[in-house]
Amino acid sequence: MDNLDLLDIDKKKIYDYNGILNQTIDKKQFKLSLEAINFDKILNGGFHSRSIYLFFGGNSSGKTQLCHQVSVRAYQLFLKNQKSILYFDTENTFRPERITELCKYYNLNHKEVLKNIFVSRISSNPTLLLSLKSIKEIIQKNSVGLFLVDSINHHYRFEKGEKEISYSKTKDDFLRILDIINYITKKFNLITIITAQITPNFIEDAFIKELPVAIQYLNHFFSEIIYLYKKQDKKYYAHIVNSEKIPEMRILYEITSKGIKDFKI
């Protein structure tokens, strides 16, 4: 398994991880709190390593805010064991100034925090595949504990309609990307957080009116799926749609200069 070229994973096969957990490089699982009681509640106390979380929602629902805040919180958690954060930005929305703003609230040196966040700008799905090809070495060299992709389906959404690229190739590349992410999360004991863009849900009586683009593929890879949406003014909802550990529920939150916080009535 260790000599596996990640790009050579059978693209038609969804990985069986039953044997991988015993081969995990760092077997000690850990948990990361967002420091928002209600939000942590729908995450079973926080983000757990060796788990993959999918957050989907419309513009201004807090997906990228969440990624920035989790990066800063992870830095605090990793101070003792010197782990790093790997951040794949497909939409060019990573903002160092937002990290700096959050660091003031947490009383952290923003320069040190930014040095521990390795940001990779991703311009296409083929670029994402190439980046994932060398990710094993990056994770091991920098002792990565948190991996973020914001967002996973941004390029898929546009490339599936390109005449120059066959839909079959776009789909196969997307499945390979998801397969690799699953593999490295289990193998290297990562907390992996993925965001996704949305499309309307055309089922007439559906409670959730939006779905992630490529939901038919994403469903096979994520055990923790959370829908973020803005209700009104500063009122936002996080709705856990699917989870291995907790029942379906939703909670209120707000987005402040200090990050995502529980909504105060």
b/e per residue 159-180 (b: at least 16 CB within 10 A): bbeeeebeeeebbebbbbbbbb
Superfamily of domain 46-262: P-loop containing nucleotide triphosphate hydrolases (3.40.50.300)
| 121 vs 91: CA distance, rounded Å | 8
DSSP SS3 for 48: strand
| 198 vs 238: CA distance, rounded Å | 15
Q: pLDDT tens per residue, the chain (265 residues)?
A: 232 333 333 333 433 433 444 455 556 889 999 989 999 999 999 999 999 999 999 988 999 999 999 999 999 999 878 899 999 999 999 999 999 999 999 999 999 999 999 999 999 888 898 898 889 899 999 999 999 999 898 877 766 666 666 767 888 888 999 999 999 999 999 999 999 999 888 777 777 889 888 888 888 888 799 999 988 778 899 999 988 888 889 999 999 999 999 988 7
**Domain chopping of the chain, boundaries:** 46-262
pLDDT of residue 20: 40
| 192 vs 190: CA distance, rounded Å | 6
pLDDT of residue 163: 60
Tokens 């928002």 found at = 36
